[in-house]
A and B are shown apart, each in its own frame.
Chain A
């Protein structure tokens, strides 16, 4: 403790451990400070300059930003719920009840996840309506509209797959009815048009692919859990990155016509 503060930090910065992590020092110059902002990947999501109209809430409704905020809430609360939830027929319902009644802050995590999920679906439709009403889907933004439509579909799929996870009667029958629609898929559903062309049947068709069998059961729950927690969020996140990047590449946020 005899060493004074400055020399203590200097000795840390001279140590082999520190130098293995940080190869050279950081020069606190005005140039480096502006680079910190202009080359930061998170700050990069927003343009360095904004047109005045882009910050008018009455024009954008901030619906896309609100949708993304709900998505972030869902990712955080969803990961927290995963610490207690087991996607197996014997456990799932009881884990959901356990989260609600016993786990500290479990109820608020589950309810935040549920309400943010409902809100995200609503917000994404409002965002789509705003983009449509302001004509922001027109060239040069037509490709970003397509990405957005795909994101809408993945939002609805996240909502649908998440609906099964509480594993109560409502979930099971809702997903039974929902996946029954897959029976009528053209070519791939055994009750759909042209089903005979490639010879699909009730055991091997689009519905049994989703349901992992003939009935909505424990195998379906696990399948939907993996889709809900891994597959769809990864795909949706990649599409979101492209979606936000394309806003800048397509000339920034659209203005009033």
Chain B
């Protein structure tokens, strides 16, 4: 570490000079060494975050809104994007298919109107057809899951297709309205 005692060392009369030449050169040398190390450390930190990731894009287009039936859980995107697209009377939302207990993929059981995790039996509500957004879809009600399923960022692209970013999710239990299901990015108002 820099020895700051050199400010008061012999050879520096505080009544005559603030610093001696030795003090100045000593501090300058330490400053150069520590400064370069600090800048190097910061640069290395940035170096470790590449600008381009060779990973699948999490922003995906899911076709036209008219392709989907009201009050139905669409399962066709599960294999590629791990999400259910849900159409309720007045809009859409995308439910991320990852159990909030330990991360398995739950199954949609249409006859029982619920999502059921095969690993430890967590259950999440299906669609309440009587109400529109935000609905209770994905709220946990049985088994060990501690919180509801997450909903993905959703919107309408310029070409009229639904566009979803499954890398950004909204959690019902969050108090911050920009991060829970009240956030306008977590659902898409459509029809009705």
Residues of A within 8 A of B (CB): 202-204, 208-209, 212-215, 217-219
| Min CB gap A185→B, angstroms | 15
Residue-wise interface mask of B (24-58) relative to A, using a CB-CB cutoff of 8 A (1 in contact, 0 not): 00000000000000000000010011100111001
A212 to B50, alpha carbons, bound, how many Å? 7
Structural contact, A217 and B55, CB atoms closer than 8 A: yes
Instruction: Give the top 3 A-B pairs by smallest Cβ distance, nearest first.
Output: A213-B53, A213-B55, A209-B48
Residues of B within 8 A of A (CB): 45, 48-50, 53-55, 58, 167
A213 to B50, alpha carbons, bound, how many Å? 8
Q: Which residues of A contact B48 (CB under 8 A)?
A: 209, 212
| Min CB gap A130→B, angstroms | 35
**Does more than half of chain B's interface fall in helix, strand or loop, or is it mixed?**
loop
Q: Which residues of A contact B50 (CB under 8 A)?
A: 212-213, 219
What would 10 A/B residue contacts be, using CB atoms closer than 8 Å?
A: A203-B49, A204-B49, A208-B49, A209-B48, A212-B50, A213-B55, A214-B55, A217-B54, A217-B55, A219-B54
Task: Identify 18 new A-B residue pairs, CB closer than 8 A, beyond the known A208-B49, A209-B49.
Answer: A202-B167, A204-B49, A209-B45, A209-B48, A212-B48, A212-B50, A213-B50, A213-B53, A213-B54, A213-B55, A214-B55, A214-B58, A214-B167, A215-B55, A217-B54, A217-B55, A218-B54, A219-B54
| Min CB gap B99→A, angstroms | 14
- B169's closest neighbor in chain A, by CB? A202
A202 to B165, alpha carbons, bound, how many Å? 13
Q: Which residues of A contact B167 (CB under 8 A)?
A: 202, 214
Q: Which residues of B contact A204 (CB under 8 A)?
A: 49
